[in-house]
Structure 1
Amino acid sequence: MTQSFLPDGFLSDAVAEAPQNIIKLAQDLPSPRVAIARAGAPLPMKAAKEAVEANMMVPLFTGERHMIEDEAAKLDWDISGFEIIDADGEIESGMAAAKACGEGRADVLMKGQLHTDAFMRAAVSRDNGLRTGSRFVHIFHITKGDSAITISDAAVNVSPNLDTRKDATVEVVKLLHKIGNTRPKVAFLSATESAIESVPSSMDARALRDWAEENIDDADFSGPLAFDLIMSPKAVQAKKLTDDPVAGRADAIIVPDIVSGNALFKSFVYLTGGCAGGIVMGAKVPILLTSRADPAAARLSSIALGAIVAAG
């Protein structure tokens, strides 16, 4: 008799909850001006309303004015006190929002109802003034209860070279410092804890660890580390790596490519019920790259991260 495989057994039905420590941190700061690219759709407008009510945002809407006003009316939300930049379609709306940030009229750039490629094209356009010379890197800060793990890069850089992963490491440490982790523990992911030439990511991880130890203060680094050694104290005991400053207690994971990062982030979300707040660092302003699949808690967490980073 063949046993059937039921993947539902691995899925969590837990409802994601926004991390209250991050929300509180953001609420204690001045509310940033958030330019929402093509805001006239249910999800971005609902997220904006919740963030305004939580004292974490002053929205600047771009997109079709009638769509924005219609969605606000559905939410019984008076938006007459906020600026609307009337723009037609994805490209024009994305460019208008990015330009507002580049010109200093907004402090955070947020994705609304438009495709990611159109949104990021506006963000990286030299005409809009958001590029700083650093590489753009995406960071997920994933929380569940009192536990947290940070992952980069899971959404922007497909096959990041060493320089891009160095920038990612800098930005991850910077973010964790901003949210109160004074000495984060950062792991460089591979499939082994030994640097061996047949596993290129392990060689990269060793090089990144050595570079980070020499160039980044107030953080601990380790690599290469396989996922079990990043997360499990039992695995660390079994493999006798108890002297490693990061193994079994990592705060952040720097991944070798978008596939591993994306799979890890979605595993934490779908298998554990984690709440994934996402932010793109390296631009003039923080960029919120939200997804249509994001629950309300994840959107609120992303906005809170943006507010914290925008505060400097």
Structure 2
Amino acid sequence: MKIEENRTYSQVKIGDTAQVTRLCTVDDLYAFASASGDHNPLHLAAYDGDGDGRPEAVAPALWPAGLVAAVIGNILPGAGTQTRRADLSFHAPVLAGEELTAFVSVVEKREDGDLTLSAEVRRIGDEALILSGTVQVTPPTQHLTFDSVEVPGLIVQRHQHFDALLEMAQPLDAMPTAVVAPEEPNSLGGALLARANSIITPILVGDPAKITAAAAELGADLAGVEIVAAQSHDVATHIAVDLVVEGKARMLMKGHLHTDVLLRAALRREKGLRTGRRLSHVFVMDVPGMSRPIMVTDAAVNIAPDLETKADIVQNAIHLAHSIGIDMPKVGVLSAVETINPHMPSSVDAALLSKMAERGQITGGIVDGPLAMDNAVDLNAARTKGITSEVAGVADILVVPNIEAGNMVAKQLTYISHAEAAGVVVGAAAPIILTSRADDDASRLASCAVAALHALANKDKIHG
């Protein structure tokens, strides 16, 4: 615990100085907007103020002024100080990503017991003057030495990684997608939302009466949307797979039906979507506070995968990572421990998968395991345990031992860490979008964007 000390009027001398340095981040500006209520899009990278086509996040003027307040409240004169008057001029804008230093100096000890302080904020690098002026303060009346107050860190609950995925998918032509049994509002709404955002062109396969009723409940217009009639879910899945095989659709999207019904049709031996690898499910998760998206696999398809299946699961996830712009994904194979325990099969499988990657049986990524959850995603945890690895602490992909573990990891990230999750089945000749009734709009759009990017990256698997 750091020891802090303030200064009373008698302890302050003219000419005393203090300073703090702080990096301005986009998350700082979101936190400021939340606390102040100032939601000016100029400050949130949502407004192109200079017309160059690139929206910048410009800090509110009171953000650098807050750095001056930090020097005054924490150092000079320190705890117990009250600000009476501030006369500040702002000379240059501050952009997210810039580092600033705030300087405070005592220029006058007033007869009324107050102090006049000069204040300056400069940008590190070119020393540009950002702010200057004076501040009148009443110093603390008691000299105190105390443990510094530990302010809890803030995690800004925004989903920048999904924003980036949607931006990657935006220039693409809308991907023709066979949507199977979108016969209730949630499943139909997700497809129509992705259509409105030009990510997919849906072909609705199912009971026309139920689809029309779902649209009416949503207040949605189906004009221009193709509907292919199918009177049962089993028939609908086979029609949808036929559309992909014939080149009329590039992706499948699950509607209001059981996943296994859809997958059975996708895996049919005659004119199915088999590729020689096992199908597996991947959650691409945008976890607030994480510097990268986290992929979790397999949490929905393979119940208790053996080593051969896990190798396919790893390879499928690596290929999906490539599709969304991760050139050399780091794969952490999870167990309860980071050492091999013959009585814990998941630790043995993890070690074997790591060795398979070393020998070229798994390609395109860096695979390491066994790793426990903490030292897979947290660099400090990995260092504390003395783990030397290119993956430990910075894993992009988390490979779980079985479906129960994957389900728990994904739902904990979603409901405790407030992550958004995009769900896609990979390993088939076309991506299969899996959404659930609990998904919100961001998850549905991101699922379609991830699948579209993967379909584009693998366009030659069916159609040469």
Are residue 78 (structure 1) and residue 78 (structure 2) matched?
Answer: no
Q: CA deviation at 1:218?
A: 4.3
Q: CA deviation at 1:85?
A: 0.9
1:231 counterpart residue number: 377
| Greater share of helix | 1
Distance in structure 1 (CA, Å) of the matches to 2:284 and 2:167? 16
Letter in 2 for 1:307: A
1:193 counterpart residue number: 338
Distance in structure 2 (CA, Å) of the matches to 1:87 and 1:21? 37
The counterpart of 2:194, out of the listed 51, 76, 83, is 51
Q: CA deviation at 1:142?
A: 0.4
Q: CA deviation at 1:184?
A: 1.2
Distance in structure 1 (CA, Å) of the matches to 2:439 and 2:237? 20
Task: Answer whether contact 1:33 1:60 (CA < 8 A) is retained.
Answer: yes
Distance in structure 2 (CA, Å) of the matches to 1:210 and 1:29? 38
The counterpart of 1:254, out of the listed 399, 403, 412, is 399
| Per-residue Cα deviation, 1:112-158 (whole angstroms, up to 9, x for no partner) | 01122222222222245211221101111001345311011100000
Letter in 2 for 1:160: P
Letter in 2 for 1:175: L
Task: Answer whether contact 1:222 1:246 (CA < 8 A) is retained.
Answer: yes
Task: Answer whether contact 2:332 2:369 (CA < 8 A) is retained.
Answer: yes
Distance in structure 2 (CA, Å) of the matches to 1:178 and 1:26? 11
Task: Answer whether contact 1:277 1:299 (CA < 8 A) is retained.
Answer: yes
User: Alignment partner of 2:293: what SS?
Assistant: strand
The counterpart of 1:294, out of the listed 397, 420, 439, is 439
Distance in structure 2 (CA, Å) of the matches to 1:160 and 1:274? 26
Distance in structure 1 (CA, Å) of the matches to 2:424 and 2:452? 11
Q: CA deviation at 1:163?
A: 1.2
2:82 counterpart residue number: none
2:299 counterpart residue number: 154
The counterpart of 1:207, out of the listed 339, 352, 358, is 352
Q: In terms of mean alpha carbon deviation, does 163-172 or 66-75 score higher?
A: 66-75
Q: Aligned residues, how many?
A: 299
Distance in structure 2 (CA, Å) of the matches to 1:87 and 1:64? 5
Q: In terms of mean alpha carbon deviation, does 222-231 or 232-241 score higher?
A: 232-241
Distance in structure 2 (CA, Å) of the matches to 1:288 and 1:106? 13
Q: In terms of mean alpha carbon deviation, does 22-31 or 141-150 score higher?
A: 141-150
1:42 counterpart residue number: 185
Are residue 96 (structure 1) and residue 239 (structure 2) matched?
Answer: yes
| Per-residue Cα deviation, 1:161-205 (whole angstroms, up to 9, x for no partner) | 111111111111111111111221111111111112111111111
User: Alignment partner of 1:150: what SS?
Assistant: strand
2:46 counterpart residue number: none
Distance 1:54 1:177, change over 3 A: same
Q: In terms of mean alpha carbon deviation, does 273-282 or 62-71 score higher?
A: 62-71
Distance in structure 2 (CA, Å) of the matches to 1:15 and 1:94? 36
Task: Answer whether contact 1:154 1:261 (CA < 8 A) is retained.
Answer: yes
Distance 1:148 1:18, change over 3 A: closer
2:310 counterpart residue number: 165
For the pair shown, which has the larger CA radius of gyration, 1 or 2? 2
User: Alignment partner of 2:190: what SS?
Assistant: helix
Letter in 1 for 2:383: Q
Distance in structure 2 (CA, Å) of the matches to 1:121 and 1:182? 32
Q: CA deviation at 1:102?
A: 2.4
Letter in 2 for 1:232: D
| Per-residue Cα deviation, 1:201-228 (whole angstroms, up to 9, x for no partner) | 1111100001012224442221111111
Distance in structure 2 (CA, Å) of the matches to 1:263 and 1:278? 15
Distance in structure 1 (CA, Å) of the matches to 2:190 and 2:160? 14
Task: Answer whether contact 1:26 1:307 (CA < 8 A) is retained.
Answer: yes
User: Alignment partner of 1:294: what SS?
Assistant: coil
Task: Answer whether contact 2:287 2:294 (CA < 8 A) is retained.
Answer: no
Task: Answer whether contact 1:17 1:275 (CA < 8 A) is retained.
Answer: no
Distance in structure 1 (CA, Å) of the matches to 2:208 and 2:159? 32
Distance in structure 1 (CA, Å) of the matches to 2:418 and 2:312? 29
Letter in 1 for 2:286: T
1:132 counterpart residue number: 275
Distance 1:95 1:18, change over 3 A: farther
Letter in 2 for 1:298: S
Which residues in structure 2 correspond to 1:255-294 (within 5 Å)? 255-294=400-439
Distance 1:169 1:271, change over 3 A: same
The counterpart of 2:169, out of the listed 26, 46, 69, is 26
Q: TM-score, normalised by structure 2?
A: 0.61
| Greater share of strand | 2
Letter in 2 for 1:244: S
Q: CA deviation at 1:70?
A: 2.9
Q: CA deviation at 1:89?
A: 2.5
